[in-house]
Amino acid sequence: MSIRQKYSESETSSDFDFEPVPKGRYNCELLDASARQRLFGSNEWETEINWQIVDGPSAGRRIRQKCVHRESMAWMMRQTWEAVGLGGAPWDGLDPQSSDAEIWGNWTHQIHLRAGARCALKVDINRWKTGNGEPRAENTVGGISPLAASTANAPAPAYEAPAANQYGGHGHGNEAPAHQAPVDNGRPW
């Protein structure tokens, strides 16, 4: 199939609903997780976790959970870790001298590996106005818990922590595709 054909068949942005879902509790499936440096010149990093609502009138809609890599977000780190069925702590298996960035990177990577896990999200709506007064709204995640009878969240098998600096301390973005062994380029990331 050519790019021209795929382009013609693809949905346009007008086919999507960008309005936030109503505030409430939603059963969701974990799609993926990745870390990135925050926008607008900030030196902070954040993890974005993408969820899809699996039932009810909002089924199929997506929720983006953002977790800034700060000590004040330890509650979200722990709730997410436990809700997706991971045991222990994100630093288990890492060098005892691991930096906070390496711990956040391992957390993001392990969450990403749990794609398919189902959890309950407490979803809120954050409303604000842009600098020119335009109203904006987005969903935020105010809590996360495991689903009582979910087999998707069986405890994860024991895992080996990534090698030092394999993921740059900021998530899984630098890992090699599954079909390709990582290349040692001499860089620490």
Q: Coil, strand, or helix at residue 49?
A: strand
Side chain identity at residue 189, one-letter code: W
| pTM of the shown model | 0.72
- Give the pLDDT of residue 39: 78
Q: Coil, strand, or helix at residue 186?
A: coil
Phi-psi region of 169 (alpha: psi -120 to 50; beta: other; left: phi over 0): left
CA distances from 12 to 16, 61, 66 (A): 8, 16, 26
Q: What is the DSSP string of 139-163?
A: EEEEEEEE-TT-GGGPPPPP-PPPP
CB atoms within 10 A of CB 89: 15
CATH of 18-148, one of 2.40.50, 3.40.50, 3.30.70, 2.60.40: 2.40.50
- Give the pLDDT of residue 152: 52
Taking each helix axis from N to C end, the angle separating 100-113 and 74-83, rounded to the nearest 10 degrees, works out to 30
Instruction: Walk along the chain (189 residues) and give the pLDDT tens digit of each residue.
Output: 678 877 877 766 555 667 899 999 999 999 999 999 887 767 889 999 999 999 999 999 999 999 999 999 999 999 999 999 999 999 999 999 999 999 999 999 999 999 999 999 999 999 999 999 999 999 999 999 999 765 455 555 555 555 544 444 444 444 444 443 444 444 444
- Give the pLDDT of residue 154: 55
Phi/psi at 175 (5° precision): -80, 150
CA distances from 28 to 7, 87, 108, 123, 137 (A): 29, 20, 18, 11, 20
Report d(CA 107, CA 171) in Å as an integer.
8
Q: Domain boundaries in the chain?
A: 18-148
- Give the pLDDT of residue 16: 61
